[in-house]
Structure 1
Amino acid sequence: MASSDYSARHLSVLEGLEAVRKRPGMYIGSTDSRGLMHCLWEVIDNSVDEALAGNGTQIDVLLHADASVEVRDTGRGIPVDIEPKTGLSGVEVVFTKLHAGGKFGSGSYAASGGLHGVGASVVNALSERLDVEVDRDGKTWAMSFHRGEPGIFTDSGREPSPDAPFTPFEKGSELRVVGTVRKGVTGTRVRYWADRQIFTKGAEFQTAELSSRARQTAFLVPGLGLTIEDARGESPVTENFRFEGGISEFAEHLAPDTALTETWRLTGSGTFTETVPVLSDTGAMLPTELQRECVVDIALRWGTGYETVTRSFVNIIATPKGGTHQAGFEQGLLKFLRQQVEQNARRLKVGTDKIEKDDVLAGLTAVLTVRIPEPQFEGQTKEVLGTPAVRAIVAQVVAKGLSDRFSSPKRDDKSQTSLLLDKVVAEMKSRISARAHKETQRRKNALENSSLPAKLVDCRSTDVGNSELFIVEGDSALGTARQARDSEYQALLPIRGKILNVQKASVADMLGNAECGSIIQVIGAGSGRSFEIEAARYGKVIIMSDADVDGAHIRTLLLTLFFRYMRPMIEQGRVFAAVPPLHRVIVMNPGTKPNETIYTYSEQELSGVLSQLDKAGKRYQDPIQRYKGLGEMDADQLANTTMDRKHRTLRRVQVADAENAARVFELLMGNDVAPRKDFIINGAGISRDRIDV
């Protein structure tokens, strides 16, 4: 029986590794080529961590013809002495114990990629055979494993093979000495054969992906050489990678376009506290508050194109799905450049528009690296960084680095920062124009395909919050308003005289009325219970009627329509009444000084103005112009007094008490005449006897 091959001594070892074999996807993501490559990354990353710690400058990866892979490094070598808690050699602990290794404390590695302590042991568990050799202390130490169990393969002088007879250790594991090395020579060699019981039939090592990762690592660790040798084909292929320029050279390599700026280097660090469980001498896990340092190194440059290329890394481990470090990077970029655009708004002619993240990232090539002890990854595959404090630290480093660049007195820096702001603003304007064009087409189609009135004069803006619909009285007022409006955000809808009194009419009559139906369709949010204010096409609806009794009547009829069938517009304060002037007083100044124009909005105000002018001895044109309607005003006069946001006055229509408002509307516009007659008599201050009934 197969179980007879195992001794009781190995039960504790296999108990953990058997879980890996039963659920490999939890540890390596999948059992296809992607999972096979992940196992290789785990081994390579251990060697890279040694190089990061300043030990070793060369890593070799060999893909053998028998489908095995070998990783060699010149690091310190895995410890070969006995680990006191388990009584096992360091080599056996690393390859057989989950969550064991030298990267949990701060002594051996200040920052490393393999932090869960499952890398080497998982690879071992999922390998049909794994051989490890360690050069250390003047000797070469060796140990072999079969699906996680230590023992000896009898190769009989042949090439190593997973099919060779295997004898597990029974009484105690033996870390064999198989040779000697010169003093000071250290390193580790790991060769393993992936277990075909675990991995799918077509799974194989991807040379192109391996080369890309090796090149990337060489960029991230300046001075580290990586050699990839593939002996699986008819003729071996060897690639060598070594770069001294670091991530600046990496950004230049990744950039797909011509440079707009030089490659800028932003560096800095920050500290944060973190509570983590620490194993005490008694074996208990005690929560301990530790002071952590996060070191940030970023290389970025903008090009003339529009493609965005970003690569983010934590302790040289790629995080293709980002995380808190990338979120902080983008947050810092956007916040800083928004401030710069606002400070240079006049030169850049941006108005009130704000740049967005896509405007900043267009044409950006960036390499973001952070180094922190024991980062929190989301899952063993380490594709997303989860350490919360890193976001703020990266954002601060970005803001500080860019601030230094933008405040630099150097001519090149000034020129490049100016070009960058111009590019970002150009991207913003292109985005707004594209969206406006799209919405204009959509709105145009809606007008063409519906029964909206042809007299609707729409605006160009698609920003609902910024757009305004003026409901104007008659075609004459429409002509003047058309010349006075700002066509970017002000739309006009003329109505003919007094609309239907919807307080008395049925819903069917209201919908059948051309003017009411036009208003509801133009606003585009439905009516009654089906009204959805989110669908309203305009942020403000402004009723612009003449400043006379008929104009007040028209305004009341329109407000009745809104109150009955589009009440959320009033409740949210989106309905207004324009306040056009009643009089224009032209004050005649002596000499060449231009005359002064004063507008008044009531007879009482006019009397006060004329009285003040008489007291001051100022002359004015007589007779005073009295506007009978909006159509009598020039376009400039209408714009300055009633439509221009800088000078106009609007009265917001509010409903503080819906029930009280309903009673008032019923009183003024309802079917019951008697209460309305009493209201008029009481308000007019006249006797009932004087009314001819």
Structure 2
Amino acid sequence: MTAQRSEYTARHLSVLEGLEAVRKRPGMYIGSTDSRGLMHCLWEIIDNSVDEALAGYGQSITVILHADSSVEIHDEGRGVPVDIEPRTGLTGVEVVFTKLHAGGKFGGGSYTASGGLHGVGASVVNALSARLDVQVDRGGKTHQMSFRRGEPGRFADRGPRPTADAVFTPFEEASTLDVVGKAKRGVTGTRIRYWADRQIFTPDARFNYDELVTRARQTSFLVPGLRITIRDERGLPGTPGEHEMAEEVFQHDGGIAEFADYLAVDASVTDTWRIHGSGSFTETVPVLDGSGHSRLTEVTRDCEVDVALRWGIGYETTIRSFVNIIATPKGGTHQSGFEQALLKTFRKTVEANARRLKAGNDKIERDDVFAGLTAVLTVRLAEPQFEGQTKEVLGTPAVRGIVSRVVEEALTAKLTSTARGEKTQANALLEKIVNEMKSRVSARQHKETQRRKNALETSTMPAKLADCRINDVERSELFIVEGDSALGTAKLARSSDYQALLPIRGKILNVQKASIGDMLSNAECAALIQVVGAGSGRTFDLTAARYGKVILMTDADVDGAHIRTLLLTLFFRYMRPMVEDGRVYAAVPPLHRVEIVNPGGKANETVYTYSDAELHRVLTGLEKSGRRYKEPIQRYKGLGEMDADQLAETTMDPRHRTLRRVRYREAATAETVFELLMGSEVAPRKDFIVAGAAMLDRDRIDA
């Protein structure tokens, strides 16, 4: 056999010109051709409208998702230029929508700071659209131009509504920007409607309504006063517009301070602090001169920094960073500078006040400072350097130092202020951070020393723990029981092979109101964290947990419900992964025991009921069938009233018992409920109690 000769010459090279390159390699411009890429195209058009509003032109943007899979964006900006661009001889509309790297965002001429940088957004969307229509109100006239896959021309629509499959006629010699109507004096703006090209995008690619709403809400926070309307006319199943048109309007005049308050889900330790500042830097960039040649030129850039931040009582961290209102989910130099400034400032402040704060010799770490932090960081500068067209990471090196300096100076002033209100908040914040450090150190020590011991080792567990014998975490269960009386019965009722018991004395500390230090020094809370064996707070390690199930076994009365709520608050605040993983349960002991009398020598039958309604149904059924039961019916007010057999049969034996798994579906809702029921603010809890007083059955009160 003769090997086929392989040739590789210049004629094998392909040169992609204009928008043809976009259609051949769309992933290079929009990341992917699924729903994410489809949404990226939409952001490109919306961001152009937002840039106009950011520059002070127009305060209203409308986005419409049409039933025919097209999307329409209206703004009240200056409108795309309609005059002739001298170098190409084309109208501004055609240049913007057909030429890559063309636009008003180069060199700082029209926009001091913008989301668009590379001049490819509108033209890329046009290239990947089966049809795109643009109308511009400018100079008292309404101008219109249409495109098919990036090529200008006219569509012959048969009906009143435009369609993507209408007959298209491209312009043969020169393109024409049609005048289709008159605009009111002083009215300007741009309307764009396009149909994504299904030759490019995957069949299941859809505009995500929830993602669109989230982005619109976010943008309305970042541009105070901007009004964004989202309308969904598609009627897709599973969306708010499934049965009728859905419309949401977003406008927030409070800016990023209001954004930080919106993102925060826990009670506050500090107010929302606002930090402003700016700096300048120089960089060498290629600049076109009058003859069109590129020359390296040193230019001075201004960078504005705006930060809103607040600390809450929790330990979750939420940081949102933006560059010219474009989200940078993967951070960058601005976020690095912010985090560096926070850690440096708090380390210096804690060291200066170590004696008063009882900080000891341990060093503050990043997680200590960021526990409970909610922050929104924005920087604005001309022509920032991003890593890629998707703009997820800021790369401009000089921004790190500017952000770090601005934040450090402002935060130091806050923490050392002598004003009464700011001094009180600063002290509370410093105490929280030191407590976080102590919690981290304590958790590390617990993790090192609190491992399950085998039979030959000395146990470091609390003396009151009645542990189980097996080492299989998946099978093991920890029952937290209320009081020593219930413990005695539970010891006889349990299977000691895999069921462990830990008694608690009455009502434990309300950790929603207490500090971390108070929680760690509380004997009941410390014992529970020690027995679970996985640490607490941010350092909680679910893989180190000693039990597969934690079951809260309290009395079936008001006090028992309160104790269960206190225990759940502890798990929610400091051992949340246990709840998230579905490993926390509440036992369901019965309320009544009904002994049914059987005729003759047959043994009596026992029935347990778990509510008054169930008891009523059982008794009614017995009366209808003519069967008798012993009086009085036993009413259990506590677990200690049961004997071991009854407790095992109804509450502890997996073959017969009922458990309620504590679900964790929505963190914000759960946080709100815990703060309402257990937090330090009394007034909302009082209102809640008064509002529900009418539904209370007084006969259920144990008094």
TM-score range, shorter chain: 0.5 to 0.7
Aligned mate of 1:398, from 407, 428, 433:
407
The partner residue of 2:99 within 97, 100, 103 is 97
Q: Deviations over 1:411-445 (max 9, x none)?
A: 11000000110111111111111112222347989
Cα distance in 1 between the residues matched to 2:414 and 2:171: 63
CA offset at residue 409 of structure 1? 2.2
State which of 39, 42, 45 in structure 1 corresponds to 2:47: 45
Is 1:337 matched up with 2:346? yes
Aligned partner (choices 225, 229, 233) of residue 231 of structure 1: 233
Is the counterpart of residue 267 in structure 1 residue 269 in structure 2?
A: no
Large movers: runs of 4+ above 6 Å: 442-445
3-state secondary structure, aligned to 1:386: coil
Rounded Cα–Cα distance in structure 1 between residues aligned with 2:128 and 2:168: 17
Separation in 2, partners of 1:179, 1:346: 76
SS of aligned partner of 2:266: coil
What SS class does the counterpart of residue 269 from structure 2 fall into?
coil
Q: Tell me whether 1:310 sits opposite 2:319 in the alignment.
A: yes
1:350 shift after superposition: 1.7
Equivalent AA in structure 1 for residue 269 of structure 2: L
The whole-number CA distance in structure 2 between the counterparts of 1:276 and 1:239 is 43
Map of 1:365 onto structure 2: 374
Secondary structure class of the residue paired with 1:16: coil
153, 156, 160: which one aligns with 2:155 = 153
For 2:16 and 2:84, locate their aligned partners in 1 and report how far apart those are by CA, in whole Å: 20
Q: Counterpart of 1:68 in structure 2: which amino acid?
A: S
Cα separation, 1, equivalents of 2:16 and 2:255: 42
Equivalence for 1:10: none
Residues 1:325 and 2:334 are matched in the alignment: yes
- Is contact 1:14–1:148 with CA below 8 Å preserved after alignment? no
1:290-309 equivalences in 2 (<5 Å): 290-309=299-318
2:143 counterpart (141, 144, 168):
141
Aligned 8 A contact 1:275 1:287 in 2: yes
What is the match of residue 58 of structure 2?
56
Q: 1:278 offset after TM fit, Å? A: 1.0
Q: Does 1:32 align with 2:34?
A: yes
Indicate yes or no: 2:290 matched with 1:281: yes
**How many Å apart are 1:448 and its aligned residue?**
6.0
Instruction: Measure the CA separation in 1 of the matches of 2:145 and 2:329.
Output: 35
Runs of 5+ in structure 2 lacking a partner? 1-14, 236-242, 459-703
Give the 3-state SS of the residue equivalent to 1:257 in structure 2. Answer: coil
Equivalent pairs counted in the alignment come to 438
Higher mean displacement: 57-66 or 25-34: 25-34
CA distance in 2, matches of 1:14, 1:321: 32
Amino acid at match of 1:72: H
Deviation at 1:228, TM superposition (A): 0.3
Tell me what 1:119 maps to.
121
Query: Structure 2 counterpart of 1:257, which letter?
Result: D
Residue in 2 that maps onto 1:352: 361
AA aligned opposite 2:319: T
Map 1:596-611 to 2 at 5 A: none
Larger radius of gyration: 1
Amino acid paired to 2:437: M
Q: Following superposition of structure 1 onto structure 2, how do residues 439-458 of structure 1 map, counting pairs within 5 Å?
A: 439-441=448-450
Task: Say whether 1:240 aligns with 2:249.
Answer: yes
For residues 307 and 59 of structure 1, what CA distance do their matches in structure 2 show? 34
2:398 to 389, 398, 401: 389
Q: Deviations over 1:254-310 (max 9, x none)?
A: 001001100000010000001111112222111111100000000000000011111
SS in 2 for 1:395: helix
1:170 and 1:14 mapped to 2: Cα distance?
A: 21
TM-score normalised over the length of structure 1: 0.62
Alpha-carbon distance in 2 for matches of 1:444, 1:175: 82
What's the CA shift string for 1:646-688, capped at 9, x where partnerless?
xxxxxxxxxxxxxxxxxxxxxxxxxxxxxxxxxxxxxxxxxxx
Tell me the alpha carbon deviations over residues 441-464 of structure 1, each in whole angstroms, 9 at most, x when there is no partner.
47989x969xxxxxxxxxxxxxxx
- Deviating more after overlay: 324-333 vs 427-436: 427-436
Q: Of residues 202, 205, 219 in structure 1, which corresponds to 2:204?
A: 202
Aligned residue for 1:202, secondary structure, equals coil
> Post-superposition shift, 1:206?
0.6
Q: Deviations over 1:383-405 (max 9, x none)?
A: 11111100010011111111221
Q: Give the letter for the 1:20 counterpart.
A: V
Query: Separation in 2 of the partners of 1:201 and 1:429?
Result: 54
Instruction: Tell me: CA distance 1:336–1:395, structure 2 relative to 1, closer, same or farther (3 Å).
Output: same
Residue 159 of structure 1: how far off its partner (Å): 1.1
Native 8 Å contact 1:69 1:193 kept in 2: yes
- Aligned equivalent of 1:611: none
Residue 434 (structure 1) aligns with? 443
CA RMSD of aligned residues (A): 1.8
Q: Which moved more, 1:45-54 or 1:17-26?
A: 17-26
Once residues 423 and 23 of structure 1 are traced to their aligned partners in structure 2, the CA distance between those partners, rounded to angstroms, is 52
Which residue number in structure 2 is paired with residue 669 of structure 1?
none
- Sequence identity of aligned pairs in percent? 72
Letter in 2 for 1:427: E
- Paired with 1:129 and 1:179, the residues of 2 have a C-alpha distance of 21
Question: Aligned to 1:220, which of 219, 222, 244?
Answer: 222
Letter in 2 for 1:311: R
How many angstroms apart in 1 are the aligned matches of 2:390 and 2:406? 27
SS in 2 for 1:211: helix
Structure 2 CA distance for aligned equivalents of residues 316 and 52 of structure 1 = 9
Give the residue type in structure 2 aligned to 1:330.
Answer: E
- 2:294, 2:202 → 1: CA distance? 39
In 2, Cα distance between the equivalents of 1:56 and 1:326?
30
SS in 1 for 2:58: coil
Q: Distance in 2 between matches of 1:282 and 1:338?
A: 54
Q: Distance in 2 between matches of 1:124 and 1:112?
A: 20
Secondary structure at 1:51's aligned position in 2? Answer: helix
What secondary structure does 1:30 align onto?
coil
- Report the CA distance shift for 1:29/1:19 in structure 2 as closer, same or farther (over 3 A): same
Deviation string, structure 1 residues 151-177 (Cα, Å, up to 9, x no partner): 111113331111001111111110111
Q: Quote the offset at 1:33 in angstroms.
A: 0.7
In the TM superposition, what are the counterparts of 1:566-645 in structure 2 within 5 Å? none
1:85 corresponds in structure 2 to 87
Q: CA-to-partner distance for each residue in 1:227-263, whole Å, 9 max, x for gaps? A: 0000011411010011110000000000010011000
Q: TM-score, normalised by structure 2?
A: 0.61
Cα distance in 1 for partners of 2:397, 2:131 equals 40
Query: Which residue of the partner structure matches residue 74 of structure 1?
Result: 76
Residue 407 (structure 1) shift: 2.7
Q: Secondary structure at the match of 1:75?
A: coil
Conservation of the 8 A alpha-carbon contact between 1:33 and 1:204: yes
Task: Say which is worse superposed, 16-25 or 245-254, in terms of deviation.
Answer: 16-25
Separation in 1 of the partners of 2:107 and 2:268?
43
Give the match's secondary structure for 1:250: helix
Deviation at 1:408, TM superposition (A): 2.1
